[in-house]
Amino acid sequence: MDKMFGTDGVRGIANRDLTPDLAYKLGVAGAMVLAGETKHKPTVLIGTDTRISCGMLEAALCSGILSAGADVLLTGVIPTPAVAYLTRFYHCDAGVMISASHNSYEYNGIKFFSGDGFKLPDQTEEEIEKLVREYSETGCQRPVGEKIGRVTRKESAVHEYIEHLKRRMSVDLSGLRIGLDCANGSASGIAAQLFEDLGADVRVISSSPDGLNINDDCGSTHMENLRKLVISEKLDIGIAFDGDADRMLAVDSEGNLIDGDIVLAIIGLDMKKRGELSKNTVVVTVMSNLGLDICANANGLLLEKTKVGDRYVLENMLNNGYNLGGEQSGHVILLDHSTTGDGILTSLALLRVLSGGKTTLSQASHVIRVLPQVLKPAHIPDDRKTEAMADRDLLDAIAKFEQELDGKGRILVRPSGTEPMIRVMLEGEDLDQINRIAVSLVDLIVSRYGTYPKNN
């Protein structure tokens, strides 16, 4: 049986893979595992993004939690990092975010946070999954009477989160002209007002969610509209969030993409200069660009590398006392200020470098030369990922192409933890060469195990 939890919670097509029945059982199991040892009546906070299925899943999840005897605080639409923060702020025993992050609207997900605002370790997720699989109506002893949970809607949640951001990263944005792409997601009701409050002149796109348009040709996975906005309006910077606003990417005044590696380099060097960067170290994943290694070596930064997934970046940071880490996707963790990636907070840390006219984003990004990189998806069913990754012909092809690159590039082929695909990534000095190799590897995988995405 396939593992229920991926690298970022339980995720799938809403009402097919992630059903109300499963959400209910996750609510029961999550409440029992995360709040079962408390002597008081436990409380679980729930937030959502803007996709159409959130109401359905929130109702089912909430019912499960209440039936397990825990109270629920509902925040409504809010970023994932807000759930992490508010779980601690309201002294809840656990938090849950209903979101599929950067995925399209038909997907959804459920991700849990512990009472201290951190994502759950594998062992705790396994406990929840075990209870879900063993759940039965006849074997479940439900509380009755006054022991049933109550629901409270927390209307002040968004305000509390905004004030938290202002306290943690107070930046004077006067004089800066900023474009925002809110992905028609969780940042839509928050980001523009916050940046305006801090003094910026703001232009906003993709900030009118209708349940179906989250991440639809917008946000951090579709940067073209933001690029056009920045150039046409002559803005200083454009910032794009994903659906639940836990990551961000940017474009400079000329429309050049500023990805997570560049953001980490700029923020890392700024923190080092201010004496804020713990052990002069940035934690990144194996997907980080080789240009970041070159930049780090040239500027006295150290890099720690983990496998892909912000949870593994965070684990390394916590175990070793580091305070900055993240991924090329723009998921950046500023551990002095947040327990998880926070796109809006990261934007403020980046804008701190630019505030007061000290430099432009284009100038700041010159600290790193990003080597050409190609990332292509091979869409295959989840249950064939393990078989595909062990395919001898695929392994032989990778070895042959690594020989061809002759130390001037690298190949990384890995199964996605959040989507039914294998990701093929290549880096090197010759873009045509690495693109050809990537296409060959994707051809091999999909010819045996799956299909191309619709718009490949």
Strand partners, 442: none
101 is catalytic: yes
Catalytic residue chosen out of the listed positions 53, 63, 101, 206: 101
Write out the catalytic residue numbers: 101
